[in-house]
Amino acid sequence: MSLPAVAVSQTPEERFREFLASRPKPQRFTDQQGELVRHIFAKHKHFDTDELLDDLKQTGKRVSRATVYRTLSKLVDAGLLRRIEIGTRTVYDHDYGYPQHEHLVCESCKKMIEFQHPAIDAALREIANAHQFRADGHSLVVRGTCAECNADRAARRRLVM
């Protein structure tokens, strides 16, 4: 399922500039940060730091590893990206400009499938209310095996028999 973009009043770059300027100790917005934000938000896909660095290298963009790590952390703090921990791997997902959504992660091929379901949101609201808890957000990752990997596994089993 492909998630539809949500209308936003600012570009990710504008929102990040505003975030940096509003910090207790305002920070400047660098050309490398701008290059990185534009690259990350040019298309919606999940990525880890190594994938991002490889992608930047392939496109000829010159952003240092240290800048990538620092900027990713700030983009999470700014609410532009969501950090998802999957075992020992940290994956980033767009949090700005996309609706709240969950993930199915295939343990075999590592594919991530995004989905939304109103019953999940309703259940979380009900649970939070029952505990007088004010939820600011959530992240749900369901681990398992995708349809393609299940089909491959079944085909291999048939060959062995």
Measure the CA–CA gap between 57 and 140, rounded to whole angstroms: 32
Cβ(106)–Cβ(91) under 8 Å?
Answer: no
Task: Please tell me whether 94 is known to bind a ligand.
Answer: no
Q: Which helix (H) or strand (E) holds 141?
A: strand 141-144
Q: How long a stretch of residues is the chain?
A: 161
* Residue that the structure tokens 């089909």 belong to: 151
Report residue 31 as tokens.
Answer: 């050309």
Smallest Cα–Cα separation from 68: which of 60, 79, 56, 78? 56
Task: Please tell me whether 146 is known to bind a ligand.
Answer: yes
Cβ(7)–Cβ(32) under 8 Å?
Answer: no
Which residues belong to the annotated binding site? 106, 109, 138, 146, 149
Q: What are the binding residues for Fe cation?
A: 138
The annotation places the binding site for Zn(2+) at 106, 109, 146, 149
